Amino acid sequence: MSRTARIERQTAETEIIVEVNLDGSGVANVQTGVGFLDHMLELLAKHGAFDINVAARGDLHVDQHHTVEDTGICLGQAFRQALGDKKGIRRYGHFTLPMEETLVTVAVDLSGRYALAFNAPLPSPKIGAFDSELLEDFWQSFAANTLCNLHVLLHYGRNSHHIAEAVFKGTARALRMAVEADPRMTGVPSTKGSLDG
């Protein structure tokens, strides 16, 4: 069964189309108008082995916030839709990822319930033209719309770019583990019989 999704969202602030294939090969075609976000989403696709297409137009004359946040919303909705009833998946994923001087751990539970614990402060307010606080805003939007528990922990790190990159790569690897088929789990991985919340 194909685990793909397409989400289209239009507001007064953004127009976004997201396509996701959870069983892809890491191919990304991303154009958001926010160069750093494009780079991070390419990392997410590559290290998660997801195919991700994103076409976004936002009110960048105001700032990057709406575009980044709304892209997270759409990507989260696409993951939730592509996962379907979640039968036969591992559900949980975790990864500890080194990025030069930085070390980040990410854990995810595709539980059907939203929770975010984001403990990865960035030492600089900007990464190039990217507002550093938008890193957490993106993952908040993603987790709230995927309906997952997402825990991000920075053990240590000095360079904001390295920290952000480690967060995206670590989350990609954790998600890759969580969405994988578990050959020993034929039904929904929950004693409730459902992962709808």
In DSSP notation, 68-87 reads HHHHHHHHHHHHHHHHTT-T
In the prediction, which pLDDT does 117 show?
Answer: 98
Closest listed residue to residue 161, CA positions, set 124, 196, 112: 124
The verdict on residue 116 lying in a domain is: yes
pLDDT at 194 over 90: no
Over residues 135-160, the mean pLDDT reads 98
Do the Cβ atoms of 20 and 4 come closer than 8 Å?
A: yes
**What's the mean per-residue pLDDT of the chain?**
95
The verdict on residue 191 lying in a domain is: no
Domain ranges, residue 102: 4-179
The widest CA-to-CA distance across the chain, in whole angstroms, is: 51
Q: What is the pLDDT of residues 67-124, one digit of tens each?
A: 999 999 999 999 999 999 998 899 999 999 999 999 999 999 999 999 999 999 999 9
The verdict on residue 192 lying in a domain is: no
Which CATH number characterizes residue 173's domain? 3.30.230.40
The verdict on residue 196 lying in a domain is: no
The verdict on residue 112 lying in a domain is: yes
The verdict on residue 197 lying in a domain is: no
Q: What is the pLDDT of residues 30-69, one digit of tens each?
A: 999 999 999 999 999 999 999 999 999 999 999 999 999 9
Count of the separate structural domains present in the chain:
1
The verdict on residue 63 lying in a domain is: yes
pLDDT bucket at 189, cuts 50 / 70 / 90: low
The verdict on residue 60 lying in a domain is: yes
Q: 99 in helix, strand or coil?
A: strand
Q: Is the pTM of this model over 0.85?
A: yes
